[in-house]
Structure 1
């Protein structure tokens, strides 16, 4: 059984018309929390939305109690975003967190479906999955609570837990840290959180005045990219966003990755991420049939907690990453060999030195600077965060992934196989089959499709 993008789940029956607010069960600091330049990027004005499927449910009251307890330590998630008075004339809607203990949104629902039935359609998110996460009626992103949870009980006694965690407050490392802390306190109500979160963001303050911004980084831009896609007067990103998108999903096993690495000629020592990101970037560009001269970029996050002096405290709870950027034109990307593309990715990683990270922090003082998404593929790696090992007391999940799919590419963990990765990205419907085809073949320098991956990738 394979799920389609428009396949409908049964409607959720909410236990209450309105969700409850879960507040910290003890008093927490009441103050305004500064957001660093890494946090306060318009690129991050969204919530990271996770979906977990469990074979057995945990009592709702227990989940609420442990959430109330964990919010003592993770109290900014119980606060609210608010606009800060601009520090400079060019500042625009700089945000901070009002740590007021107002509470996280918690919704309860029931769906007439079994865990195994949902598992059968779990490889590709569908539009109807959005009903599994309560939609807060808020006029703007700023007015949306930083943490929204929905627990949906299933016919079989299982449950689905969906969470929306504000990206302004933390990155993927932070979301995993919080979820594991919540699960830990659900299993062990009298214990402390495994890692004490450190909330001060001043460690990522720019190290020099903002009046002079000489640093340039290819992941950012101050002006819209004027390059066009064929005869469309749009950037590639705008072109993709202007039409209906459907998800492409495929799984790479350890054997697939090994075969992919063997395509790097001459031989090159590289990580799984480097080779799979390179292959995905090439396949994406090839499937979109882009102009050969168009410059395209690959953006991917890199943890910089170990690139700042003094050392970042353990448990640093905020955004601690910057985007690395590999770039080239379409012709070199799709006609060159995989070795060349992997080198581009490796060079992008190695270019993020202490000095360049400091330059990025300073560059982001200018709120006219934004992430350059015009002709970029953005890859976010969820597969190395431990997200799949969440246990609230009734065992590990049967499935872990996003609530929805978009044009950002996700590298997802595979439950039960730590060496496998699922690639998920949304593309125009007419492009998906081409993308999956190229992801399962390798384009040699003479444009002849060569040997397929030793063990064919699983498409769903």
Structure 2
């Protein structure tokens, strides 16, 4: 599939604002990896006359640009540039916006056998790892398909937003596209972080490495595994115990993947090693009261659980629940108080010491989880309906699992990034395939079709 770039421009705020000229990063922002958060939203069209398709496509493109410009009046750092490791220059230079087109239809695209490997072509500049040389905070690419379908691919710097914040921005952009509903539907973003901003915050390379997980030079493979509502119901039954009687869908899917990945690693290396699960936690939901998703910046912490190679599903679920719930409102509060910077450094040191300790001896397998479930990405509506599919991309990041909602919000689509050899073993795991469908066509399975 060839993507033709039609034009590129900068979308700037629609009017001059009196916002601060610079945005200081919090201590949590500074420890995020120097990378972009990639999100892709797929929208269909119900017209089949080419003339009508062209008119609708032009109207949608104009609407996207105008509403983005208006949205940037409030999300002013998103239109700025990265100045250094602690500062965003809020210069209103704008979002790098690309228009592109492909000659195939969305149906033809979804029929591709290597769908996961084609996703990157729908992202702007195809840059995901690292930051652009130009220091862009936000990049967007709108790709028009021959059928009139549209894919909106965005890259947002992890320095100014986490996954929840990036999702809030997309929903705000969509709400702003409904001109008549803007005053009622739009919640203003808040860039006043509750965490300390410290110009002298030391840049710990080991901590950065852990946040970004391992960037591999070898061959990596991406696979999507769909767990539908029925499969998750069965997993919940198998994973429940007297300790965790009603596990969440994220808990049971993550636990099963941990178990199966450990088996693949053992088959590859011949060594029976424990697995250190590193789970990204959205601390907005752990604070009391909760911070809303409108709070911009990074609210992410890494919870860790050491899983034995012989743990069964109930034990895995229990350990995961224990480590996640340890990030409670008292934990979050420690980063906000006067001693927030000192407490943050101490907690970070504990994270690094834990990883070093468990890696002694025969070593340890690492598996990093991040969940985008319940972020509301399937609610992003620009005025022509909700997306039929939402996807991500994280090429070059090894031992990573991104858990995504399905359109029904009842299933989970797990995007898994593994070494080629381990993936070859994982995708043949009978226990995994009892619950999951590998690399499904988004338009063919009932979890998608009934909500498209």
Instruction: Classify the TM-score, shorter chain.
Output: 0.7 to 0.9
Whole-Å separation in 2 of the counterparts to 1:222 and 1:171: 17
2:220 alignment counterpart: 245
2:3 alignment counterpart: 12
2:237 alignment counterpart: 262
Whole-Å separation in 1 of the counterparts to 2:291 and 2:373: 23
Deviations 1:179-222 (A, max 9, x none): 11111111226724611111012x11289x999xxxxxxxx966
Indicate the SS of the match to 2:284. coil
* Contact 1:30/1:100 (8 A) holds in 2: no
2:106 alignment counterpart: 115
1:197 alignment counterpart: 189
2:414 alignment counterpart: 423
Whole-Å separation in 2 of the counterparts to 1:400 and 1:337: 32
Change beyond 3 A, Cα 1:287–1:139: closer
Q: TM-score, normalised by structure 2?
A: 0.78
* Contact 1:388/1:397 (8 A) holds in 2: yes
- How far 1:241 moved relative to its partner? 1.6
Deviations 1:232-282 (A, max 9, x none): xxxxx75x8232111122111121112112223745422111121111112
> Larger helix proportion, structure 1 or 2?
2
Whole-Å separation in 1 of the counterparts to 2:175 and 2:104: 28
Verify: 1:362 aligned to 2:350, yes or no: no
Whole-Å separation in 1 of the counterparts to 2:190 and 2:99: 31
* Equivalenced residues, count: 398
Whole-Å separation in 1 of the counterparts to 2:103 and 2:73: 35
Match of 1:458 among 434, 437, 444: 437
* Contact 2:239/2:314 (8 A) holds in 1: yes
Whole-Å separation in 1 of the counterparts to 2:60 and 2:208: 52
Whole-Å separation in 2 of the counterparts to 1:224 and 1:403: 19
* Contact 2:109/2:115 (8 A) holds in 1: no
Whole-Å separation in 1 of the counterparts to 2:290 and 2:403: 29
For the aligned residues, what is the CA RMSD?
3.4
1:446 alignment counterpart: none
* Contact 2:35/2:131 (8 A) holds in 1: no
Give matches, 1:367-386, under 5 Å. 375-386=365-376
More divergent stretch after superposition (367-376 vs 74-83): 367-376
Deviations 1:312-369 (A, max 9, x none): 46721111221211124xxx23x12211111110110122134434268535458996
Whole-Å separation in 2 of the counterparts to 1:295 and 1:325: 13
Whole-Å separation in 2 of the counterparts to 1:24 and 1:122: 40
Change beyond 3 A, Cα 1:279–1:68: same
- How far 1:292 moved relative to its partner? 4.8
Whole-Å separation in 1 of the counterparts to 2:237 and 2:347: 44
Whole-Å separation in 2 of the counterparts to 1:314 and 1:278: 27
Give matches, 1:132-211, under 5 Å. 132-135=122-125, 141=132, 143-188=134-179, 191-192=182-183, 194-201=186-193, 203-205=194-196
Verify: 1:39 aligned to 2:29, yes or no: yes
1:5 alignment counterpart: none
Whole-Å separation in 1 of the counterparts to 2:425 and 2:221: 13
Change beyond 3 A, Cα 1:153–1:280: same
Indicate the SS of the match to 2:72. helix
Verify: 1:95 aligned to 2:74, yes or no: no
* Contact 1:20/1:105 (8 A) holds in 2: yes
Match of 2:13 among 10, 24, 46: 24
Q: TM-score, normalised by structure 1?
A: 0.77
1:75 alignment counterpart: 76
Change beyond 3 A, Cα 1:37–1:149: same
Change beyond 3 A, Cα 1:101–1:352: same
More divergent stretch after superposition (289-298 vs 163-172): 289-298
Indicate the SS of the match to 1:27. coil
Verify: 1:51 aligned to 2:40, yes or no: yes
